[in-house]
Structure 1
Amino acid sequence: MRQISKFSLSLLALSSLALTGCQQFSKPQLPPSPMQTAPEEINQFALQGKIGVRTPQQSGSAFFTWQQEQDEFDIELSGILGVGKTQITGRPGQVTLNSAKTGEITAATPEELLKRATGWNAPITHLVQWVQAKPATAKAQISQDESGRPVQILEDEWNVQLSYAEQAKLPNKLILKQALENSAENRITMVIQNR
């Protein structure tokens, strides 16, 4: 594999893995809520937007297109004017990231790929649920607005803040924060421009 900067690899891996959550987790047995869709529609969506990653050591952003079809996904990341395109695909048991800078990197789960690439431990698979305004586990703590929409999900050491456009049922912005030592944090900001 070619030598690349740690920043580039971290941004690529975290940006891509922040979008790839779909494998290796059991769906929580929660009572149905008005926010949930019919079973055949769960984990089936298309999103476009921008993602930003900030850690104590680095920061960066990318545009994304994310197609999710149950347990399979296809994600494309790019910089301004399509520069630095990265393709991420996944199906149960295999996640592949491919770009001109990194070549091909494959792992069994998004978490494994993130750990190998950056040293981070994060519940990346939860993001599929979070972008749908749902908790990923039964342990999640949820705060809702006056309309019953989740505005904060506390889960697996992450604080997920959800924002909505007017009366929309699904969020158009998510801010994920992980507290670190000495008041530092890892932060992922995801702006969804099209659903």
Structure 2
Amino acid sequence: MASIVRMIAPKRVLATLPILLLAACATTRPPVRNAGDAVTLGLQEQRERALGDTDHWTLEGRLSVASDKDSGSGSLTWRQEGDHYDFTVRGPVTGRTFRLSGGPDGAELEGLEGGTRRGPDAETLMAETVGWQIPMAELKRWVLGLRADRGPADIAFGADRLPSRLVQDGWTVDYRQWDATKQPAMPSRVFAEKPPYKVRLSIDTWSLGR
């Protein structure tokens, strides 16, 4: 499958998934990683305190996903409003739109042939519809460059003292670029992998707040 527009049947919607690529004002991620000294870890803790309550934001960019059987890509708009989220993915050729939205009361996946699918939550809906296990609660934190609240996490830093790699819940999240013009700096290129799944996210714009 060459692009998201070919994902019609429920089992071929992989490219619509949100998990986890290039900002104009981004810093290139250095190849060297380190566990971080006291100062670096302190800066990360400050970052997590500053952004920990940030749950109203919008990002726009591009998304590509792949497994050992499928792949696809499209433009992405992700709006987060507290516990409610709205992922809209558009195919690069036809503009066909897929939309995953929901919150504590359940989730919906629109744009499929045969109509909208619903589930008790995004994780269950994705697993039943496309066979993916998507850690939605963690992803909401990871995309901000933060450790998720659930379970232990290993974090490594680049020479700029920004997170370079985060390993948590079986996923490896690589932060390939950061937009250093933002205060605090925000991720602009994020690769997430949990074999056989790979997700690449290029964030063009961040809008924080309501």
Q: Same fold (TM over 0.5)?
A: yes
* Letter aligned with residue 15 of structure 2: L
Percent of counterpart pairs with the same letter?
21
Measured after TM superposition, the shift of residue 176 of structure 1 is 0.6
Give yes or no for contact 1:7–1:58 (8 Å, CA) kept in 2: no
Name segments (4+ residues, structure 1) moved above 6 Å. none
Of the three residues 103, 110, 115, the one matched with 1:98 is: 110
Across the aligned residues of Structure 1 and Structure 2, the Cα RMSD in angstroms comes to: 2.5
Residue matched to 2:27: none
Identify which of structures 1 and 2 has the higher relative contact order when contacts are C-alpha pairs closer than 8 Å and 6+ apart: 2
TM-score (norm 1): 0.78
Distance change in 2, residues 1:151/1:102 (3 Å): farther
Mapped to 2, the partners of 1:126 and 1:71 lie a distance apart of: 12
Residue matched to 2:12: 8
Aligned residues: 174
Measured after TM superposition, the shift of residue 147 of structure 1 is 3.3
TM-score (norm 2): 0.73
After superposition, the C-alpha distances for 1:136-192 in whole angstroms (9 at most, x for unaligned) are 13401111123331111101111100123463511101101113xxxxx32110111
After superposition, the C-alpha distances for 1:31-52 in whole angstroms (9 at most, x for unaligned) are 9722235478512211001110
Mapped to 2, the partners of 1:68 and 1:6 lie a distance apart of: 24
Distance change in 2, residues 1:74/1:119 (3 Å): closer
Mapped to 2, the partners of 1:68 and 1:82 lie a distance apart of: 26
Structure 1 segments unaligned to the other structure (5+ residues): 20-30, 180-184
Distance change in 2, residues 1:102/1:160 (3 Å): farther
Mapped to 1, the partners of 2:188 and 2:114 lie a distance apart of: 30
Structure 2 segments unaligned to the other structure (5+ residues): 1-7, 21-41
Measured after TM superposition, the shift of residue 93 of structure 1 is 2.7
Q: Which shifted more, 46-55 or 82-91?
A: 82-91
Q: Which shifted more, 131-140 or 160-169?
A: 160-169
